[in-house]
């Protein structure tokens, strides 16, 4: 068990460019979550997957954002036509999804995005 990993850890891009982040959950965790955290705030829910199915999306997830989880393993979060307001830490978490203890979410180190 190597924990949740995210890549890249840091990304600097120019406004208008597209960026893609990757998250690898803990193996055998069938639930995967994306959150966004801005400076001085707690993480805010963006979307979550159970296996390969995207079950819920927050209103924070505008049309420029898309997330996928092909084959129910790793997930990608793409932001198209980035804006300065997209600058934030993007956190990924996973959970086993079975039973009470299985609902504990384990977080990755995050991808810090800076849009210039």
Partner 1 sequence: AQTVTQSQPEMSVQEAETVTLSCTYDTSESDYYLFWYKQPPSRQMILVIRQEAYKQQNATENRFSVNFQKAAKSFSLKISDSQLGDAAMYFCAYRFSENTGTASKLTFGTGTRLQVTL
Cβ atoms within 10 Å of 89's Cβ, excluding its own: 18
What does the alpha-carbon distance between residue 15 and residue 3 come to, in Å, rounded to a whole number?
32
What does the alpha-carbon distance between residue 76 and residue 100 come to, in Å, rounded to a whole number?
27
Using rule CB under 8 A, residue 48 touches partner 1: yes
Using rule CB under 8 A, residue 109 touches partner 1: yes
Using rule CB under 8 A, residue 100 touches partner 1: yes
CA-nearest of 62, 9, 2 to 28 is 2
**Listed ranges 11-19, 28-36, 59-67, 78-86: which one lies at the site for partner 1 (CB under 8 A):** 28-36
- Residue listed under structure tokens 């092909």: 70
Q: In what order do the strands lie in the sheet containing 75-79? A: 5-7, 19-24, 75-79, 65-68
Out of 11, 43, 90, 113, name the contact with partner 1 by CB under 8 A.
Answer: 43
Out of 2, 27, 84, 104, name the contact with partner 1 by CB under 8 A.
Answer: 104
State which residue, 13 or 37, has the beta carbon closest to partner 1: 37
Shortest reach from residue 114's CB to partner 1, in Å = 15
* Interface contacts to partner 1, rule CB under 8 A: 4, 31, 33, 35, 40-45, 48, 55-56, 58, 91, 93, 95, 97, 99-100, 103-110
């Amino acid at each position: 068990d190597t924990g949740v990993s995210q890549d890249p850890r840091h990304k600097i891009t120019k406004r208008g460019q597209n960026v893609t982040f990757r998250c690898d959950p803990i193996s055998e965790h069938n639930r995967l979550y994306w959150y966004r955290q801005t400076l001085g705030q707690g993480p805010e829910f963006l979307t979550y997957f159970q296996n390969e199915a995207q079950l819920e999306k927050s209103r924070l997830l505008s049309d420029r954002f898309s997330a996928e989880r092909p084959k129910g393993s790793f997930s990608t979060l793409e932001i198209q036509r980035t804006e300065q307001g997209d600058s934030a830490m993007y956190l990924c978490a996973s959970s086993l999804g079975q039973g009470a203890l299985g609902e504990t979410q384990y977080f990755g180190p995050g991808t810090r995005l800076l849009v210039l």
